[in-house]
Amino acid sequence: MEAYSKPKPEYWTGRESDQNLYLHQKVKFIDMQSLAQEQIKKSDIVFLGYACDEGVKRNKGREGARMGPDAIRMQLGKQPEHLSETLSVFDAGTIDCNDGDLKKSQRQLTQTVKTLLGMNAFPILLGGGHDIAYAHYNGVKEHLESQGGNKTIGIINFDAHFDLRSDEDGANSGTPFYQIAEECEVEGTAFRYMCLGIRKDANSKVLFETAENRDVTFVENEHFSMHYLSHDLKIIQHFIKEVDVIYTTIDLDGFSSAYAPGVSAPSPMGFAPDIVLEVLKIIIDSNKLISLDVAELNPSFDIDHQTAKLAAGLIHFIVHRLDYSNQD
């Protein structure tokens, strides 16, 4: 398999316990080149890394996101786990982009996501630049196409940026949803995209016009907070109701740099974790969430691993909420 690295157990460490109380003791390791060695059950969690900086580099961001997946693993493994014994958690390794060939890495990611979904696993992808979204979405789309039917995919993006820049000069971390929208138009399928936390100081007038022309649903950052929770949830619930499945992507640069200094495009004007957790509850409890990723962690600029810990905390919450939801 091109552009692929096997999982590395040394990144999963933490306190030792004879009762297996911590996530690093729960996680198992699978090689995507020889999946027969492990049996993945329905709803099992599978982590997959996307070690890619190429899209960020092309978008003139701060490079270093390629180190994000392992930084998240190192913080996630230390956390206690309260999961049901029947749920398995796997690390399936990492899709790499070491040669600047973004298309090749994205193709590999798409195929791997499709494979995992075909095994009824729940993939959680660890980025990497936000170009992860284009490949991740296509993995979901190709899986659904292979199952037959005509399900509508709703994209929910927690982000300061629309990432609707034209790919006329090539794809990058700012183009994924434009690329998806263009392909939906060609295929005659619905482009259902919601972006939460949009900042006017992070998007040009042209990008707002593009969002309006593409019928993008968005909540600006000044209204994406606990103060407006009731209003926000009505908008989000309406969006969820109108789609069949949901792909969720969390761009860490949407958070205030008070919480997430280690990203490619930091700003103190971003949102807080509490509103994100409340929205994630609604998304997960809808039973429509099919796959999720966390993007744009840049350990080179992180302070005391704060952003990596935020990413790990979000994933810890998501995994446990999924487990709880599956037990109902």
Per-residue pLDDT band for 247 (boundaries 50, 70, 90) equals very high
Find out whether 268 and 313 touch, Cβ atoms under 8 Å: no
Which region holds residue 221: left if phi is over 0, alpha if psi is between -120 and 50, else beta? alpha
Q: What is the pTM of this model?
A: 0.97
Mean pLDDT over 22-42 rounds to 86
Write down the pLDDT at residue 328: 64
C-alpha to C-alpha distance for 140 and 128, rounded to whole angstroms: 18
Nearest CA-CA partner of 77 in 256, 318, 308: 308
Q: What are the angstrom distances between the C-alpha of 178 and each of 32, 129, 154?
A: 30, 16, 15
Of these ranges, 30-34, 61-65, 157-161, the one predicted with the greatest mean pLDDT is 157-161
Mean pLDDT over 68-76 rounds to 98
Pairing of strands 153-158, 192-198: parallel
| pLDDT tens track for 256-312 | 999 999 998 999 999 999 999 999 999 999 999 999 999 999 999 999 999 999 999
What domain range is 37 assigned to? Answer: 4-327
Q: Which two tokens mark 237? A: 């619930």
Q: Does residue 325 surpass a pLDDT of 70? A: yes
3-state secondary structure of 248: strand
Write down the pLDDT at residue 34: 83
| pLDDT tens track for 185-225 | 999 999 999 999 999 999 999 999 999 999 999 999 999 99
Q: What are the angstrom distances between the C-alpha of 222 and each of 12, 60, 199, 232?
A: 38, 26, 8, 11
Mean pLDDT over 100-123 rounds to 96
- Say which amino acid occupies 229: L
Percent of the chain with pLDDT over 90: 91
Per-residue pLDDT band for 2 (boundaries 50, 70, 90) equals confident
Binding positions are 130, 159, 161, 163, 251, 253
Mean pLDDT over 235-254 rounds to 98
Nearest CA-CA partner of 142 in 153, 158, 130, 132: 153
Alpha helices in 126-245 (DSSP H): 132-146, 176-187, 205-213, 229-241
Nearest CA-CA partner of 232 in 298, 284, 277: 277
**CATH (domain of 56):** 3.40.800.10
Binding positions for Mn(2+) are 130, 159, 161, 163, 251, 253
Domain count along the chain: 1
